[in-house]
């Protein structure tokens, strides 16, 4: 490894639901972070590793930073997001096309005093009908901070992501690679399997089931060529358990089928997935319960 390789950490930050996880998945060229239209789908810090010929960018997808912290889970997610940006080399702040609101202002304040260069990524470019409105908006944003660069992108449509990557790569320090070239995340397959189940729940039940569900993997083992995985879906009330199971177990079956297909792609093998639903009241406001479920607030 010569001294012309670059490597560093890149935090992707922003208020909830601006497309941070979608952006990271497209930059990596594969799905590492789960996505849904629901704010706060990302609850954990997830590292996605993108290795090129002479550059390795270690992306840190963070939970959305929000202003209210009504429950322990919100406090832990905020701590995870804010500690993630402490020691990074580059920060990519994602905002929603032509919108700028108090949530964005709050994120910008959190970055005040951070020495890392901040690149502003204007996401959802494909949703802007009036392109003439873009220029004055860009000019207004440029006044808010001395951004290292402002790049309009569409994460979903893969537009201008190479330009964003160039801005990121040139600001990474000269360094040897931190991870093997074929590694794409720091998370275990067990964690990824739990997240696949949770994504399907969020997508199916976004409106009916706010944040009150979590997924715990109880069995994760390979027998011959088949992976046997059992996952426990935790909810806070009996009424939520009924919603997850659905009429004659229909909804749970659908979640199971979609999650199994994702996990089979991840493991490149056949998967037998069993799902159970259990009521565990108050887990999302209990820091000890959250830690046992693998929630990490970065306080090591």
Q: What digits encode the pLDDT tens for the residues 19-42?
A: 887 888 888 876 665 554 444 444
| pLDDT tier, 300 (very low <50, low <70, confident <90, very high otherwise) | very low
- Interval 241-260 mean pLDDT: 92
Specify the DSSP class assigned to residue 20.
H
DSSP of 161-228, one letter per residue?
HHHHHHHHHTTSPB---SS-TT--BSS-HHHHHHHHHHHHHHHHHTTT--S-EEEEEEEEEEETTEEE
Q: Calculate the CA 67 to chain-centre distance.
A: 18
Is residue 175 included in any domain, yes or no?
A: no
Mark whether 145 and 216 lie in a shared domain.
Answer: no
281 shares a domain with 134: no
Span 184-207, mean pLDDT?
Answer: 81
Residues 149 and 253 in one domain: no
Q: How many domains does the chain have?
A: 2
Contact 164, 90 (CB under 8 A): no
- In percent, the amount of the chain with pLDDT more than 70 equals 77
Predicted local distance difference test score (pLDDT) of residue 199 = 81
Q: What is the mean pLDDT of residues 214-236?
A: 90
261 and 161, same structural domain?
no
Query: For residue 15, what is the DSSP state?
Result: S
174 found inside a domain: no
* Domain ranges, residue 52: 6-169
Please state, in angstroms and as integers, the Cα–Cα distance from residue 48 to each residue in 60, 62, 179, 211, 237, following that order: 7, 11, 11, 24, 34
Question: Quick count: other Cβ atoms within 10 Å of Cβ 217?
Answer: 18
Residue 148 has pLDDT above 80, yes or no: yes
Planar angle of CA 156, 50, 269, nearest 5 degrees:
80
**CB-based contact 179:56 (threshold 8 Å):** yes
Q: Are residues 244 and 136 in the same domain?
A: no
Looking at residue 192, what is its pLDDT?
A: 82
Q: Would 281 be classed as within a structural domain?
A: yes
The answer to the question of residue 70 being in a domain is yes
How would residue 265 be classed by pLDDT, with cut points 50, 70 and 90?
confident
Residue 198 included in any domain = yes
Average pLDDT over residues 169-181: 93
Residue 119: predicted pLDDT: 96
Lowest mean pLDDT among 20-24, 69-73, 153-157, 163-167: 69-73
The span from the CA of 191 to the CA of 213, in Å, is: 15
Higher pLDDT, 90 or 188: 90
């Amino acid at each position: 490894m010569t001294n012309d390789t670059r490597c560093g950490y890149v935090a992707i930050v922003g208020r909830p639901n601006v497309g941070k996880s979608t952006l990271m998945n497209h930059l990596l060229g594969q799905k590492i972070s789960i996505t849904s239209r629901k704010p706060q789908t990302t609850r954990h810090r997830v590292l996605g590793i993108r290795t090129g010929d002479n550059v390795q960018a270690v992306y840190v997808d963070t939970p959305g930073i929000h202003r209210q912290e009504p429950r322990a889970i919100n406090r832990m997610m905020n701590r995870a997001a804010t500690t993630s940006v402490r020691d990074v080399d580059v920060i990519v702040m994602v905002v929603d096309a032509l919108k700028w609101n108090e949530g964005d202002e709050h994120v910008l304040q959190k970055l005040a005093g951070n020495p890392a260069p901040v690149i502003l990524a204007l996401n959802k470019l494909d949703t802007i009908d009036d392109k003439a409105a873009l220029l004055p908006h860009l000019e207004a944003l440029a006044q808010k901070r001395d951004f290292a660069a402002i790049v309009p992108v569409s994460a979903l449509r893969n537009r201008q992501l190479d330009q964003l990557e160039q801005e990121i790569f040139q600001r990474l320090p000269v360094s040897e690679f931190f991870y093997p070239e074929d590694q794409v995340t720091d998370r275990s397959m067990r964690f990824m399997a739990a997240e696949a189940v949770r994504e399907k729940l969020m997508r199916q039940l976004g409106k009916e089931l706010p944040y009150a569900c979590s997924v715990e993997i109880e069995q994760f083992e390979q027998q011959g060529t088949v992976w046997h995985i059992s996952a426990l879906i935790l909810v806070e009330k009996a009424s939520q358990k009924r919603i997850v199971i659905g009429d004659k177990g229909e909804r749970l079956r659908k979640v199971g089928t979609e999650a199994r297909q994702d996990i089979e792609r991840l493991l490149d093998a056949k998967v037998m997935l069993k799902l159970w639903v259990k009521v565990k009241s108050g887990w999302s406001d209990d820091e000890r319960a959250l830690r046992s479920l693998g929630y990490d607030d970065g306080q090591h």
